[in-house]
Amino acid sequence: MARLNDNYLKLKAGYLFPEIGRRIKEFTQANPDAKVIRLGIGDVTRPLVPAVVDAFHKAIDDLTRPETFMGYGPEQGYDWLIETIIDKAYRPLGVELKTSEVFISDGSKCDCANILDIFDLSNKVAIGDPVYPVYNDTNVMVGRTGEADDKGYYEGIVYLPCTEENNFTPDLPKGKVDIIYLCFPNNPTGTVADKAELKKWVDYANANDAIIFFDAAYEAFITEPGIPHSIYEIEGAKKCAIEFRSFSKTAGFTGVRCALTVVPEAVMATTSKGEKVALNKLWNRRQSTKFNGVSYPVQKAAQAVYSEQGWRQTKDVIDYYMENARIIREGLQAAGITCYGGVNAPYIWLKTPEGMSSWDFFDKLLNECHVVGTPGSGFGPSGEGYFRLSAFGDRENVVAAVERIQRKWGK
């Protein structure tokens, strides 16, 4: 009989969202008239903006005529999309990139999982806690870890707690690590790192020959000036950082699928014999072999996000979500609940009242306010005692949810 990959059996079976679903189902069966408001899931709700839909339609029409039909495109993405991204998303930040350094893909989730293909298993990996679970689980799947302990920490991974004490930006690891995952603005905490904090990590990486995986999926939600949108705004980052960006949250592409990964040509790692090799070359080889590109209409739709009209419309949707975030944040604060995030990210990370556990607060919020959120402990042990609310809902529901919470916890 064929042998399976044992590493998959080390994973805690996708526990968080199924368990949330189970508890909601149980509640709604017992309370069929309750109007449950869901502020739990990290998915967008607003439709694609008109300029994007227009470009999408036009590109489909191109496929209907022999003169404009497109077959396989470049595995790395079309140059016209890459050039638009460099020009509109990076140049305004003072970041210059070459077209060969940007790779278009169908998602950041798969890119930050697939990137592990080009790294040896011996690398020591550091991951935040709480964290986007993909970073952790994909390292387990490739076999970089032992078993999980009682808390859920896997043997062999260096966990970096992100707590109130360090403003949710992790401290440098005590020992030497080779790969560091950073996500700012952060999911789940909604917090950001300023330039000085990111500089600390870039300097660490360059001093220790480490690589930073920088997940910037939420950069478009930054509202405060001076907060870096890209790791490459930090001096020295082009020598040590790979950046992941996505159209998913930025432009409502969670169902359409388009993202990009930047691998600067100066980022190097060593072979087993100690020779330095550019990771750009390996990632290009990996993508050319295992990936056949994002569809032409999707890339046209993505390009339209950065047209003048497209960006104005996209920005309006982002502003809508961020107004939701403000309503949640200020509403909770008025009820005496301590919360973080929600200023430069569409997530509010609240401290559970009266020191409740994350799951106890989940149950209370569901049973007494008919509001669903995500228990912080589901993102890692350091998330215990915290709770995530998402600003991706519609306004009416957000306002109603906040009113219910205030009725329950407000003085």
Q: Which of 409, 79, 369, 101 is nearest to 237 (CA)?
A: 101
Token output for 27: 């509640």
Residue 236: what are its φ and ψ, rounded to 5°? Answer: 95, -10
Q: What share of the chain is helix, strand, coil (3-state, %, to 5)?
A: 45, 15, 40
Residue 87: what are its φ and ψ, rounded to 5°? Answer: -70, -45
Helices then strands, counting H and E runs in the chain, come out as: 12, 15
Alpha carbons 340 and 349: distance in angstroms, whole number:
5
Taking the alpha carbons at both ends of the chain, their separation in whole angstroms is 64
Scanning 115-214, the segments in alpha helix (DSSP H) are 133-142, 195-208
* CA angle (357, 411, 335) in 5-degree steps: 55
Contact of 358 with 376, CB cutoff 8 Å: yes
| CB of 150 vs ligand PLP, minimal distance in Å | 26
The dihedral formed by the CA atoms of 379, 385, 390 and 395, expressed in degrees to the nearest 10:
170
DSSP 222-270: --STTS-SSGGGSTTGGGTEEEEEEHHHHHT-TTT--EEEE--TT-EEE
| CB of 400 vs ligand PLP, minimal distance in Å | 25
The answer to whether the Cα torsion of 154, 158, 164, 168 is positive or negative is negative
DSSP state of 183: E
The residues binding ligand PLP (CB under 6 A) are 42, 107-109, 132, 183, 187, 215, 217, 246, 248-249, 254, 259
Residue type, 313: Q
